Structure 1
Amino acid sequence: MYFYLKALHIIFVVTWFAGMFYIVRLFIYNAEANDKAEPEKSILQKQFAIMIKRLWLGITWPSAILTLVFGPLVMFNGGWNKTLDSEAGRWLAVKLVFVVLLYVYHFSLHALYKQQAAGIFRFSSQKLRVWNEVATIFLVPIVMLATVKSSLSWLWGLIGLVGFIIVLMSAIKIYKTLRTRKS
């Protein structure tokens, strides 16, 4: 039973992340459509509104909920809850902190969803591109902690995460420069 629960947990984690990655891309396109002239603006925003709603409410939210259901089931079924306060389970405690922060990020995306649904565009497409990478920043340590577990060196893990963030932010900056030159 444990492995079936674990498989379901992983499946819903993957679909949840897929939804979070794509929803921000749609927010970016919707924000860029807001800068276009009519009738193009209305046509694009109507289509993006449909896509955003279906993705957010039909895939991303259910996946987030099912991830939250199956995660504790895996933890208790596998006996991991008994190791949380020991050195062997420290990786899980740290992973759970990242997971909580990921849910905070998810709720921030929900706030963006509601704003854009109301026609409020507070963030530029460039700021949304940066915000799009936050899910990736959480994905890396969560997967590393879940697979490497206690053999992960905390110092090297932290250095690696900071390095990864620097590379991601540099890539966004380079992309912006290339887009600016192109237009």
Structure 2
Amino acid sequence: MYLYIKALHVIFIVTWFAGLFYMPRLMVYNAEAGTQPEPAKTILRNQYGIMMKRLWFGITWPSAVLTLILGLSTWHLLGAFPDWLKIKLLFVIGLFVYHGTLHAIARQQWKGNFRYSGQQLRIWNEVATIFLVAIVMLVVVKENMSWVWGLLGLILFVVVLMSAIKIYKLVRTKKQNG
């Protein structure tokens, strides 16, 4: 029974992350649709709004809830609370906070309030990647991970990721201007 619940937990983690990765992309496109002339602006924003709601309420939220329920069930059946799991749970709590921030931004956009630029949303989109890397490393490596090297590796990953975003912005700007 444990392995079936664990397998379902992993499946819903994957679908939850799919939503967490795609939702900010839709938010970027929705925000940048504001630069389009009418009627394209209205048409695009209406379409992105529909896509965002279907993704968020049809896939992302249900997957998050099922991930939580199945994760707690897996933990209960495991019958242990090792150190790596305690740290993983801190990252999972952070991931749910991130999920909540995406929900808040989506609600703002659905109301026509675009507080964040496409570039800001692109950066925010990468937060899920950071959580994914940290959580997977903890789950796979567990007690064999050096906390110092793990933390340094995560910091290095964040630096590389943010540098890639900056480089992408420069290339994109150069293409638009050139």
Q: TM-score, normalised by structure 2?
A: 0.98
Q: CA deviation at 1:128?
A: 0.3
Answering whether residue 145 of structure 2 is matched by residue 158 of structure 1, we say no
The Cα RMSD (Å) is 0.6
Query: 2: distance between equivalents of 1:79 and 1:15?
Result: 26
SS at match of 1:122: coil
Q: 2:161 aligns with which of 148, 158, 168?
A: 168
2:66 is aligned to 66
SS at match of 2:36: coil
SS at match of 1:107: helix
Query: 2: distance between equivalents of 1:129 and 1:157?
Result: 25
SS at match of 1:119: coil
2:86 is aligned to 93
Q: CA deviation at 1:78?
A: 1.6
1:133 is aligned to 126
1:143 is aligned to 136
Alignment of 1:68-83 (within 5 A): 68-80=68-80
Query: 2: distance between equivalents of 1:147 and 1:179?
Result: 36
2:95 is aligned to 102
Identity %: 61
Q: CA deviation at 1:43?
A: 0.9
Structure 1: gaps (5+ residues): none
Answering whether residue 42 of structure 2 is matched by residue 49 of structure 1, we say no
Query: 2: distance between equivalents of 1:49 and 1:126?
Result: 19
1:25 is aligned to 25
2:5 is aligned to 5
Query: 1: distance between equivalents of 2:66 and 2:24?
Result: 21
Structure 2: gaps (5+ residues): none
Query: 1: distance between equivalents of 2:143 and 2:79?
Result: 16
Q: TM-score, normalised by structure 1?
A: 0.95
SS at match of 2:38: coil
Q: 1:113 aligns with which of 93, 106, 131?
A: 106
- The residue type paired with residue 43 of structure 2 is I
Query: 1: distance between equivalents of 2:30 and 2:109?
Result: 8
Query: 1: distance between equivalents of 2:27 and 2:20?
Result: 11
- The residue type paired with residue 148 of structure 2 is L
Query: 2: distance between equivalents of 1:47 and 1:19?
Result: 17
- The residue type paired with residue 14 of structure 2 is V
Query: 2: distance between equivalents of 1:144 and 1:79?
Result: 21
